[in-house]
Amino acid sequence: MSSHEFHAEDDSSQATTGTPVGPITVTSNGRSITRVTWRETDTESGQLHDTGRGTAGPDVDHTDPLLGEALRQLRAYFDGTLTTFDLPLDLGQISATARTVLTTLDETVEPGTTVTYGELARRSGTGIPARAIGSIMGLNPLPLVIPCHRVVASDGLGGYSGGRRGEGLATKRWLLEFEDALPRPLF
């Protein structure tokens, strides 16, 4: 797995790139990636709008080399040439337990695999119940990069707060099929 550094957040820049699961905005403070969010498109104006999980910004070249590298890695992921992100990350102001769970997810769940909420709770060693894992996945400020889409319920997909509004589960299914963690539908 990649090794990630977690730093404190300060000034930030961001850029948006189109992906098969919708426009994604990446935010950087120059030392770390601090946020990955989905953007909404206004079908009448063609304008991009923030989904409420970060600050909106145009798809432009930035002087922040880390932001450029993050966009390059995202594009390579969706091109199928990158399976593991290697970027310095900042999880922001989250609890030590949430940080441990997200770090465990990042370090132990490989591309093309899934883990149940209960198994991730066990692996993390935090003693929290499986139900709490779902809440922590919803807090993940870096979806895709820290692959919360790979965490599933013991009896199905579970939930997913990523993706465009109203398309969370479809986005999760698409990502898992794309990574060959789920069989593709026959029809």
- What length does the chain have? 187
Contact between 50 and 42 under an 8 Å Cβ cutoff? The reply is no
Residues in contact with 149: Cβ distance below 8 Å, sequence separation at least 6, in sequence order: 143, 160, 162, 171, 172, 175, 176
Q: Which of 148, 152, 176, 181 is catalytic?
A: 148
Q: Residue 89, CB half-sphere, CA atoms under 13 Å: how many?
A: 21
CA separation for the pair 63, 73 (Å, rounded)? 17
148 as an active site residue: the answer is yes
Distance CA 34, CA 182 (A): 29
> Annotated catalytic sites, by residue?
148
